[in-house]
Structure 1
Amino acid sequence: MKGSGMLDATQPVPPGSPDAGSVDVGARLKRFRTERKLTITQLADRSGVSSGMISQIERGTTNPSIKILQRLRSALGVNLWDVLDENASAEPRPSPSSAHVLRRANRPRIVVGESRLVKELLSPRKDRNLRFMIITLPAGGVSEDVIVGEGEKGGLVTDGRVRLTVGQEVSDLDEGDSFQFPSSLPHALSNPHAEPAKVVWIMSVLDSHI
């Protein structure tokens, strides 16, 4: 709704990949909401995300950006990793052989935003100050609503080429190039090229809600 201050931009989810095998974020958000006995309208009031947007996310007809997920998880009082990782309720979550290992078959996978970036979470545990993931950027893909705050971020381009913007500095990176910067700086990652690209993305987290 215009003028309400609520986020209401929706992105329809087309059939087929890259959603195949991804975490059902909408179902998880609905479960958290119903567990707290909140209506969609009440969650909208708490989060500043419109009721229509929340309804579409819960039905799986739109891909929320990270910024919208941040608003919703804050209103629900949960950790962002709880929303993204369907196995995060186990504390800690051991694999069959080690509490420090996340098997590839158990890797949470989500699709976010209009650009439909694919994020595969690699961190075996959510109770540590280090988060890392693989981000796949389709041709023309741009990161949206990145989290800015205390800590450090870094990464390694493993496939293709990407453009990294940190503050006023723009760097074109090739496969094998790496980077690191304070996460308090405005930043963005994009793929202006015709081929998809992959980046191992690393975060040193000082916000316990992330």
Structure 2
Amino acid sequence: MVAGKNSPAAQPSEVAPELADENAQLIGRRVRTLRGERKLTIAELAAKASVSAGIISQIERGSANPSIKTLQRLCDALDVNVWKFLDEEKRGGAGDAPPFIRRRAQRPRMVVGDKGLTKELLSPQYADELRFMFVTMPPGSATEEMLIGAGQKAGYVMAGAVELTVGEHTVLLEEGDSFQFNSDVEHGLANRSDQEAKVLWIISALDVRL
């Protein structure tokens, strides 16, 4: 689930074409594959996800990268978590690794917003209920439309300083500080400084789509 899920259907303005082209191509391939596995037409998926067929067509062609809100609607419609769109079943160079290993070269990567905030998944492909990732935050960047649902989130500030908001509380965290909270509370991270920040982000989710 995500805040705002019942808001009006997504419009083309929700598509963020400034994000990395590589992400757009990978998401497009995965959406098309998952839609095919479920034997859905573009129009049927659009209706289930409450987005326009035009946006889905753009996404599948790799010509546009969806916002977090649009991605979450597609997650709900296809019954997968958001990383399923960025994690291909076969990635080169991982043949020597057992399924509980994630090689550095095979990390799925998501670029969010015009400031270049980057999320890199560290968990292996099969992990559902527990995931962890690196969040790299350039100066002035902030998380957008954080996913809300049953479970917990935690983290450790590896470098720099970030502003963490959980519900009504906003706290400045510096290198070496850590946190943990229930993920059904509105929350967000922001880097108000002039230096890059890096956070190890952990999700223990009861809803595997988070």
TM value normalised by structure 2:
0.82
| Identical residues among aligned pairs (%) | 48
How many residue pairs get matched? 200
1:198 maps to a residue whose letter is: K
- Please tell me whether residue 104 in structure 1 is matched to residue 104 in structure 2: yes
Cα offset, 1:160, TM superposition: 1.9
Higher mean C-alpha displacement, 57-66 vs 103-112? 57-66
Q: Which residue of 2 aligns with 1:45?
A: 47
User: Tell me, which stretches of 5 or more residues in structure 1 are unaligned?
Assistant: none
2:119 maps to a residue whose letter is: K
Deviations 1:27-84 (A, max 9, x none): 2112222333433222211101222322332233333233321210221233433223
Partners of 2:132 and 2:202 within 8 A in 1: yes
Partners of 1:63 and 1:114 within 8 A in 2: no
User: What is the SS of the residue equivalent to 1:171?
Assistant: strand
Partners of 1:117 and 1:141 within 8 A in 2: yes
1:110 maps to a residue whose letter is: M
1:7 maps to a residue whose letter is: A
Deviations 1:1-37 (A, max 9, x none): xxx92112122226xxx65688711221122223334
User: Quick one: which of 80, 83, 105 aligns to 1:81?
Assistant: 83
User: What is the SS of the residue equivalent to 2:180?
Assistant: strand
Cα offset, 1:142, TM superposition: 1.5
User: Tell me, which stretches of 5 or more residues in structure 2 are unaligned?
Assistant: 1-6
Cα offset, 1:127, TM superposition: 3.9
Aligned equivalents of 2:113 and 2:56: distance in 1? 14
The alignment's C-alpha RMSD in Å is 2.7
User: What is the SS of the residue equivalent to 2:96?
Assistant: coil
Aligned equivalents of 2:113 and 2:29: distance in 1? 17
Q: Which residue of 1 aligns with 2:15?
A: 10
Partners of 2:128 and 2:208 within 8 A in 1: no
Partners of 2:156 and 2:176 within 8 A in 1: yes
Cα offset, 1:188, TM superposition: 0.6
TM value normalised by structure 1:
0.82
Q: Which residue of 1 aligns with 2:140?
A: 140
User: What is the SS of the residue equivalent to 1:72?
Assistant: helix
